[in-house]
Amino acid sequence: MRIHPTDDDDALKAITPVLADALLTLGESGRPETANRLAGRAWAALRHRHPTEAQRVNALMHRLARMPSDPNHDQGAPRCLTHNSTSAPSHPPAATS
């Protein structure tokens, strides 16, 4: 549903790799769950009007999901008080408009 490229589109194309690099660095520093949640928010904002950039963020989310997290530093996943650990949701949250 893209209309015509604008200066904003060019800026978004320049910013997306910077965001991806920052989130990857966050993930590599032991906080992949936090990085993945932030990437999910970016993906949700991009997916309809900027599918190419959304795909790049999606690929990053898959990479982040395979990284080990440091439970002493990553507060991105909800805490499971029963097991004193983080737990990832079993399915993605429902999309909202």
Residue 97 covered by a domain: no
Q: Quick check: is 81 in a domain?
A: yes
Q: Give the range of the structural domain holding residue 63, as residue numbers without chain letter.
A: 7-86
Please list the alpha-helical segments (H only) found in 29-69: 32-46, 51-65
Q: Is residue 91 part of a domain?
A: no
Q: Which residue has the higher pLDDT, 86 or 33?
A: 33
Q: What is the dihedral of CA 19, 22, 28, 34, to 10 degrees?
A: -70
pTM of the predicted protein model: 0.68
| 8 A C-beta contact, residue 1 and residue 48 | yes
59 inside domain:
yes
Under the phi-then-psi rule, with left for phi > 0, alpha for psi from -120 to 50, and beta for the rest, what region is 88? beta
Give the number of residues written for the chain: 97
Asked if residue 64 belongs to a domain, the reply is yes
Interval 22-68: pLDDT, tens = 999 999 999 999 999 999 999 999 999 999 999 999 999 999 999 98
Task: Say if residue 90's pLDDT is above 50.
Answer: no
Domain count within the chain:
1
In a domain, 80, yes or no: yes
The answer to whether residue 39 sits within a structural domain is: yes
Please check whether residue 60 lies inside any domain of the structure.
Answer: yes
What residues contact 83, with CB distance under 8 A and at least 6 apart? none
Q: Mean pLDDT across the chain, nearest whole number?
A: 80
